[in-house]
Structure 1
């Protein structure tokens, strides 16, 4: 389950996404350099090989550890793309491109949103989509929808097998886990050109979108977007942290929450990474959590050069050190109300300082914001060694025991982990 939003203003295009995946699935943030004159003919994506291109743009990706593709990302030209699982009538386990592969391919190969639509749909029609799309759950498969944006505007692209439709965004748009384009598309695959059918009615299913509360989450996103009179990083951060019922505890939340918390069979997934991007004429600004649960995380800036605390070295992709380290803090906070309140209050104070420091978009301001985020995280992390074990729900105790990230049994483990230099925050 996921939610992706875009807001088009005269000043800039704002893009935001919560990526909801299995709670055990790390989703580190990686930066890949531009490539020129590559002689490699083929590239192995998640399940198949496709033709490679010699020149590729630099990208910043929020990437599940097992997958070649990405849930969301931005490229050096200022294009942002995020995808949603769509449980269409054509979803298949037969190997093809994953929606996450198409996100990365669009970002690597296109310098504008229009060009990314062309790249993605051409590859979709040629190779099809399909294959296992889960981490532990290898029976999980889906088709995808996307928001593709740049400083000039944005598109919603929705698919069912090799068929697709696209509609330009006017004002704002949001997508969740159901098709949203009917007969009001502006571009489409060749098989649909003979007649203007209702794409959503023809290809969407009912059961999974109903369980996922897709329509409710999309309505909530649209309400938040329509109320954004003066958009900012801070406002989008609050938006991505939205719970439909703020007075409920996290484990009693709902599939209608934008900030999702795993709680059992009906709500198996949770938000494992978040992104906010401001796409302007002078370039893009991107902030990511690189960690689970935006309501229990801090957004961190990142650019296409320099060192940033949100980034994971590609050589340590499988380790995903920041994501795994934060899981101790995240899971501890799920079962410790005082820690959760302290985390959220201090995070809001620090983030406010970060957004002020980086308001001019200068490298110095962004670096200062990054140091503030790293220091906040380090202080919260170090406090774990002084706290009693939290009281997790049965659901989270099972996950924690399986993952080896179990604060209910290992309150003293934080002390040992703090001694490891590999888990210390950069610059803190």
Structure 2
């Protein structure tokens, strides 16, 4: 379960596209932030995803990813071309609870789209072609209490000028292009009759399954394929349809004057009353916000990731693509990608934050002081990065090679 957001001009400041996601997962799951360099691959190679091997491509882009330690795929991330993708689970009439057939999972599609797509539309085409070829299913977490947790997927795919919402049901899919304003997704299908692209057999499948017939009127994807998931106890605020509407309301309110920005998305992801910041059987285990500058701009995009649970008690740390960036080992678990190893998967930042998070949540004077220190660290990062980007030229790239690593190391020191 997750919430994903995008804001585009004229809703945003500076003509930027702002992407954001809270990844809501089982409370014991750890997410690591990893950098994956671009790579050239020999013809005929196979690529091992989480459960399934697929054909490798000749070239893959460099990536920054937030991913469960056990999964090859990612919950969210960005690539060097300013493409961002985040997914969320949806339950459809074609989804069988406990479907353990090991195909591609949602996280695999996120990473594959980022590795291979140099635009939002390009990533959309890559994901849908792989979906149609390989299908989707398989265990979507390691925690035993969620061992039957399988689902289909919804995605927001954004670049520096547009975004696409992609929603799936089995190997069928529908997509909606977003060129202005705000859009968000939660754990319920949200594409209705505005369908800008779809799988070839979508309408036929809906008719054959008895989900829709022409005499019903215009085809409505969400109405035809939506199904409820009864495997989790949710409050009213936590229900997908209510989070979807609450998220939309937050985005519209903060973008009304055309000033939606990095801090606006932080505010959305930290909203507790709407359960966008999720606390329950699952929790928000990691978050990402990306500022995608206009294609006409020479200013690079910036990506802000927590690598720790609860955005209200976490620091968003900046990453900017540059030649040979170094993110350090503080957010790396040491578990091989795609491994099903179940030993302690906590990276150093996670372990240190775990102690600090307990203090901050208790609200003691010591915890309050630590929370203020973390907020000060984040505010300083925002000011420094904005100043750096305002006067950017390529000769300044060496200044940010260690940017993410330096902030992670500083955060760890404050927890000691």
TM-score using structure 1 length: 0.79
Conservation of the 8 A alpha-carbon contact between 1:130 and 1:143: yes
Q: How much has 1:333 moved relative to structure 2?
A: 3.1
User: Per-residue deviation at 1:286?
Assistant: 0.4
2-structure distance, mates of 1:310, 1:291: 14
Of 365-374 and 82-91, more deviation after overlay is shown by: 365-374
1:83 alignment counterpart: 87
Q: Determine which of 377, 383, 408 is the counterpart of 1:356.
A: 383
Q: CA deviation at 1:288?
A: 0.4
Aligned residue among 120, 125, 129 for 1:118: 125
Question: How big is each residue's C-alpha offset from its partner over 1:259-309, in whole Å with a ceiling of 9 and x where there is no partner?
Answer: 112xxxxx2110111101011123321010111111001011113333336
How many residues align structurally?
Answer: 365
- Asked whether the equivalents of residues 30 and 311 of structure 1 are also in contact (C-alpha less than 8 Å), the reply is no
Residues 326 and 181 of structure 1: is their aligned pair in 2 closer, same or farther, counting only changes over 3 Å?
same
* 1:28 aligned counterpart, secondary structure: strand
Deviation at 1:132, TM superposition (A): 0.8
**Structure 1 residues 310 and 257: alpha-carbon distance in aligned structure 2, compared to 1, 3 A threshold:** farther
In the alignment, which residue of structure 1 is the partner of 2:282? 269
Aligned-partner Cα distance in 1 for 2:409–2:33: 15
1:101 maps to what in 2? 108
The alpha carbon displacement at 1:320 in A equals 2.4
Task: Go from structure 1 to structure 2 and tell me whether the alpha carbon gap of 1:371 and 1:24 turns closer, same or farther (over 3 Å shift).
Answer: same
- Tell me how far 1:108 sits from its aligned partner: 0.4
CA RMSD for the aligned pairs? 2.4
Q: Which residue is 2:228 aligned to?
A: 206
**Cα pair distance change 1:311/1:55, threshold 3 Å:** farther
Preserved contact between residue 325 and residue 402 of structure 2 (Cα < 8 Å) = no
Q: How far 1:233 sits from its partner (Å)? A: 2.0
The match for 1:293 among 278, 302, 310 is 310
| CA 370–69 in structure 1, closer or farther in 2 if over 3 Å, else same | closer
Residues 52-91 of structure 1 aligned to structure 2 (within 5 Å): 52-91=56-95
Matches within 5 A, 1:208-223: 208=230, 211=234, 212-223=238-249
8 Å contact kept, 1:288–1:310 = no
Pair 200,39 (structure 1): closer, same or farther in 2 beyond 3 Å: same
Once the two structures are superposed, residues 161-190 of structure 1 have per-residue CA deviations (whole angstroms, 9 ceiling, x without a partner) of: 001000011311000110001122110001
Question: CA separation in 2, counterparts of 1:284 and 1:310?
Answer: 23
1:16 corresponding residue in structure 2: 20
Rounded Cα–Cα distance in structure 2 between residues aligned with 1:310 and 1:20:
24
Cα offset, 1:40, TM superposition: 5.2
Alignment partner, residue 339 of structure 2: none
| Structure 1 residues 31 and 155, CA gap change in structure 2 (3 angstroms) | same
What stretches of structure 1 of length at least 5 have no aligned partner?
A: 245-255, 262-266, 383-428
User: What is the match of residue 130 of structure 1?
Assistant: 137
2:173 paired residue among 164, 174, 181: 164
Per-residue CA deviations over 1:312-341 (Å, capped at 9, x if unaligned) read 458566552222332222234334544443
Q: Aligned with 1:24: secondary structure? A: coil
Q: How far apart are the structure 2 equivalents of 1:213 and 1:343?
A: 33
